[in-house]
Amino acid sequence: MKKWIVMALVYAAVACGSTTPRPNGTTEHVASSEASFARYQTFSFGEANPPRAGFEVSQHSLDVQRVLASLVEAGFTARGYKKTIGGSDFIIKLASGTASALPPTDYAEGQPPHGFIGVDVYDAASGREVWQSTAFAEIDLHKIDQDLLRRGVDRMLASVPTRRATEQPDSNLKSGLN
């Protein structure tokens, strides 16, 4: 438990210490040392989280979040997890935002806007955050770069373990179902 708290504090200090936009395509991952995806089988989506400090919700970020939801759902499904409505093992909360550090007039002077996306996973039973990943990139406020977003989600979810098709839930093994 102490290791998770230390990791979270270090991550928070780094996150709060800089609102400078990151290079295009940067991703970060943090997982609880107590997290074991082996016990998880199902997921659902919860309400969105606010974006990281230095980023704000915009119409563009809301549009990105809709696309992000379908990519994240596909990513977890491809890893063997099943989406449910309520009663899931873990809850996914998304976040997105547009950098607010630079005024719009600076964008015209060669400073491109930056976007933020985040995926946070919470254990449904305890409510504890067990995994998170974020990505930052230069963006075009007039369109969503589907390829950039897809690559970002792929990188973000790379550390999520894949469930094997033969894995049985512990409760089925105990009840004698094979």
Does residue 103 register a pLDDT over 70? Answer: no
What is the domain range of residue 35?
2-161
Rounded-to-integer distance, Cα 103 and Cα 109, Å: 11
Residue 166 belongs to a domain: no
Q: Which residue has the tokens 């940067």?
A: 26
| CA nearest neighbour of 136 among 41, 37, 32, 61 | 61
**pTM more than 0.85:** no
pLDDT of residue 54: 87
pLDDT, mean of residues 31-47: 82
Type of residue found at 92: I
Does residue 9 register a pLDDT over 50? Answer: no
Q: 133 pairs with which residues across the strands?
A: 29, 119
Higher pLDDT, 1 or 99: 99
For 115-131, write each residue's pLDDT tens digit: 999 999 999 999 999 99
Look up the CATH number of the domain holding residue 127.
3.30.160.670
Domain count along the chain: 1
**Confidence class of residue 91 from pLDDT cuts 50, 70 and 90?**
very high
Residue 46 belongs to a domain: yes
Question: Which tokens go with 88?
Answer: 């899931």
Residue 167 belongs to a domain: no
Does residue 71 register a pLDDT over 90? Answer: yes
pLDDT of residue 17: 38
Residue 173 belongs to a domain: no
pLDDT, mean of residues 159-172: 63
Residue 170 belongs to a domain: no
**Confidence class of residue 1 from pLDDT cuts 50, 70 and 90?**
very low
Residue 144 belongs to a domain: yes
